[in-house]
Amino acid sequence: MEAAGQIIGGETATILIREKTGSRIEIGDLLVAEDDGRIILQVKELKYRSQIPMGMHELASGLELEGQGGEVEFLEPELRNYIIAEARPILHVKDEGPVLPKLLPGFFRSVRRIHEGDLEFLERPQRPIYLGNVRSGSKVLETPVHLDAESAITHHILIPATTGRGKSNLVKVMLWSLVEMDSVGMLVLDPHDEYYGRNDEGLGSHPAAGERIEYYSPDAPVGGNTLIINLKSLRPEHFDGIIDFSGPQEEAIRAARNRFGDEWIAGIVKSDEIMNVHHSTLRVLKRKFDNILGVYMEDGELKSRGGVFRESGGESTIRDIIGHLEDGKTVIIDTSRLMGEAEILVGSIIAGAIFRRYQRYKAENRLRRKPVIGIIIEEAPRVLGKEVIENQGHNIYSTIAREGRKFNIGLVAITQLVSLIPRTILANMNTKIILGNEMAQERAEIIASASQDLSDDNRTIASLDKGEAIVSSIFTKFAVPVKIPLFEEFIESEKKDDDAPPLEFV
Ligand SMILES: Nc1ncnc2c1ncn2[C@@H]1O[C@H](COP(=O)(O)OP(=O)(O)OP(=O)(O)O)[C@@H](O)[C@H]1O
C-alpha cells in the first residue's frame, strides 16, 4: 500500500505529504497510521509549501557537507513540492474494537488513505436508519452509515442546517428506512407538502407505502386521507405554550368550556355573548380562532377556511392517527395550507394524545411491546425556542424533548437557528446530523452542544457541500463524516437492489 505521507511531529499530528498529481489531500480526509492498531486521523488544516523549509535545507546541507547527502531521501527533486497537513486522531482501532484515541502515531510512521475495511466496525444496527456513506473529504467510501432507529429516535435527533443544504432530502432518505419498521411509528408534519411526493418522487414511491404510510392532506389524492379535524377534538390544554391567551381570555375559555363542553370553540365563535365574559374579550377570542383555525361565522353558519377544522366530520381523525402510529406506521400530514400556529397545534394534539397514552402504558407495564414514536418537526424554535418557552411556558414538544425518552417518544427537530434553542434542550438531543452552515454564531452553538469535540471543525462545517454532513452522536464513537445520497438516485438504486445500499456516487 502506497504511503500518502509521513508523521513528522506536531501537537496534533503534522504530516508531510508529497504532492503528486491525482493524490491530493483535502480538509476532512480520513487517513490511517498503523501504530499499536490503527489510528484514524482526520485532516483539519492544510499548509501548502512549494519549497523545503529552511530547517530541512540546513539539515540537508549539513548532511551533504558531511558527505551523506546521497542517502537523504527528502532531497529528491519531486519532494520539493509538498504539503504539510495538520491531522487529528479521531479513533484508535484496536483488536478489541474502536476506542477514543489517547496517543498520537509515532514519528516517521507512514500514513495512508483510509480504505473500506478500516471502518468495518461500523456495524449495521438491528433497526438501521440509513443516512448515507462514509465520506473522506469529498470522496465517498462504500461503507454505509446507519443509526439504530429506536435508540437514536428516543434520544432525539437534531438536524441543524441552513436553507438549501439538503435537509428535506436527508429526512426523505431517513424516512425511507423507517417506513418498513413496524417497531417505529413516525409522525411527519410537512409544512411544504414535499415528503409524500404527490407530484414527484417521495415516500409515496416506497414499495410498502400502501400498507405502511398514511398520508393526510386537506385535498388528499385518491387513497389518501382527508385532513379534517373536528373542533370537538380540541381542548384548551392543546393551546398551552403555543398560543398566548391573556388572563381574561383564559377565564372566558373556562366559561365557554363549562357552558358548551366539547363544543367550546364552536360556542365561542357562534355566540354573541357568554355569561361573565366581556364583549371585547369574546371578540378577540373569535378573531384568534379565525386566524389560527380559520373558523368564522357567515350567514349564521360556522364556516371553515381551508376546511381542516370543522364542526362536523373528522371526529375520529386524531384517534385514527394515534392508531396508525401505534401500528408503527409513518403518518405524513400535509400542513402546507395551515397557518404556522395551526400546524403546531395539530402536531400538539397528536403528540399530546400519544404522550398521555404512552405514559399510561408505562404505568401499566405495557410500554415495551409498543413501537417507539418519532415526531419530525421543522423550524423547531417555534416550539423549542428559548423565548417561546420563557414567555408561554412549556408545550408538549419541549416536554417530549425533556421527558419523552422515558416513554419511548422522541423528536427529530430541524432548524436553521440552533442558537434559539436552550442549551438544556440541545443537550438532550443526543444525535446531531450537521449539514452545512455559513453562520458563525450557529456553528459555535452546534459545536458547543455536539457529542464529540468538534472544536476544530468550525471551517469544515462552514464548507460542507449539499448533502455532506457530520454525524455527532452518543451512539457513534467519532463524529462520522457522511455523504447523504440524493433521494431520487437513492431510490433508483434501492429499486435495483432491494437488499441494501451501498450506493454509487458520481
Ligand atoms: N445529498 C444530496 N446530494 C446532492 N444534492 C443534494 C443533496 N441533497 C440536496 N441536494 C440538492 O440541493 C437541493 C436542495 O435540497 P433540499 O430541498 O433537500 O434542501 P433544504 O435544506 O431542505 O432546502 P429548503 O430549506 O429550501 O427546504 C436539492 O434540490 C438537490 O438538488
Max CA pair span of the chain: 107
Kindly indicate whether the ipTM for this predicted assembly is greater than 0.95, answering yes or no.
yes
Query: What pLDDT shows up at residue 22?
Result: 42
- C-alpha 170 to ligand 1 mean position (Å): 8
Instruction: Check pLDDT > 50 for residue 501.
Output: no
pLDDT tens digits along 116-136: 889 988 888 999 999 999 999
Query: What pLDDT shows up at residue 392?
Result: 84
Query: What pLDDT shows up at residue 293?
Result: 94
Q: What is the distance, to the nearest Å, from the Cα of residue 500 to the centroid of all Cα atoms in its chain?
A: 21
Instruction: Check pLDDT > 90 for residue 48.
Output: no
Query: What pLDDT shows up at residue 54?
Result: 45
Instruction: Check pLDDT > 60 for residue 180.
Output: yes
Bigger pLDDT: 77 vs 14: 14
Share of the chain above pLDDT 70, in %: 89
DSSP H helices in 404-480: 423-428, 440-448, 458-462
CA 349 – CA 372 distance, rounded (Å): 18
Q: Ligand 1: which atom is nearest the Cα of residue 485?
A: 1
Query: What pLDDT shows up at residue 6?
Result: 72
Question: Got the DSSP string for 10-42?
Answer: TTTEEEEEE--TT----TT-EEEEESSSEEEEE
As a whole number, mean pLDDT of residues 445-466 equals 90
Bigger pLDDT: 491 vs 198: 491
Query: What pLDDT shows up at residue 81?
Result: 65
- How high does pLDDT run on average in the chain? 88
Query: Is the pTM above the cut of 0.95?
Result: no
Band of pLDDT at residue 58, cut at 50, 70 and 90: low
Which residue CA neighbors atom 19 of ligand 1 most closely?
166
Query: What pLDDT shows up at residue 371?
Result: 97
- C-alpha 450 to ligand 1 mean position (Å): 23
Query: What pLDDT shows up at residue 505?
Result: 41
pLDDT tens digits along 401-415: 999 999 999 999 999
Question: Got the DSSP string for 468-486?
Answer: EEEEEETTSSS-EEEEPPP
Instruction: Check pLDDT > 80 for residue 148.
Output: yes
Instruction: Check pLDDT > 60 for residue 23.
Output: yes
Query: What pLDDT shows up at residue 65?
Result: 57
The reply to whether ligand 1 has any atom less than 6 angstroms from the CB of 466 is: yes
As a whole number, mean pLDDT of residues 348-363 equals 95
Bigger pLDDT: 174 vs 15: 174
The reply to whether ligand 1 has any atom less than 6 angstroms from the CB of 167 is: yes
Bigger pLDDT: 242 vs 347: 347
Question: Got the DSSP string for 307-344?
Answer: TSEESSS-TTHHHHHHHHHHTT-EEEEE-TTS-HHHHH
- Top mutation candidate among 145, 168, 188 for ligand 1, by most atoms within 8 Å of CB: 168
Phi, psi (rounded to 5 degrees) for 38 = -110, 130
pLDDT tens digits along 387-399: 999 988 889 999 9
Query: What pLDDT shows up at residue 21?
Result: 42
- C-alpha 183 to ligand 1 mean position (Å): 29
**Cis geometry, peptide bond prior to residue 502 (ω within 30 degrees of 0):** yes
Tell the residue number behind the cell numbers 442558537, with chain if given.
Answer: 419
Instruction: Check pLDDT > 50 for residue 449.
Output: yes
As a whole number, mean pLDDT of residues 10-20 equals 73
For 436, the 3-state DSSP assignment is coil
CA 132 – CA 144 distance, rounded (Å): 6
Q: Which span out of 65-79, 97-111, 421-435, 483-497 was modeled with the highest average pLDDT?
A: 421-435
Which residue CA neighbors atom 8 of ligand 1 most closely?
166
Query: What pLDDT shows up at residue 199?
Result: 81
Bigger pLDDT: 456 vs 260: 260
Annotation: CATH topology of 126-227+313-496: Rossmann fold (3.40.50)
As a whole number, mean pLDDT of residues 298-314 equals 92
Instruction: Check pLDDT > 70 for residue 154.
Output: yes
| DSSP for residue 430 | -
In the chain, what are the domain boundaries?
3-116, 126-227+313-496, 239-298
Query: What pLDDT shows up at residue 85?
Result: 86
As a whole number, mean pLDDT of residues 308-326 equals 95
- C-alpha 113 to ligand 1 mean position (Å): 29
CA 227 – CA 141 distance, rounded (Å): 43
Q: Ligand 1: which atom is nearest the Cα of residue 169?
A: 18
pLDDT tens digits along 374-385: 999 999 999 999
Lowest average pLDDT, out of 79-93, 198-212, 264-278, 467-481, goes to: 79-93
- Top mutation candidate among 145, 159, 168, 169 for ligand 1, by most atoms within 8 Å of CB: 169
As a whole number, mean pLDDT of residues 265-271 equals 94
Which residue CA neighbors atom 12 of ligand 1 most closely?
166
Band of pLDDT at residue 220, cut at 50, 70 and 90: confident
The reply to whether ligand 1 has any atom less than 6 angstroms from the CB of 484 is: yes
As a whole number, mean pLDDT of residues 411-431 equals 95
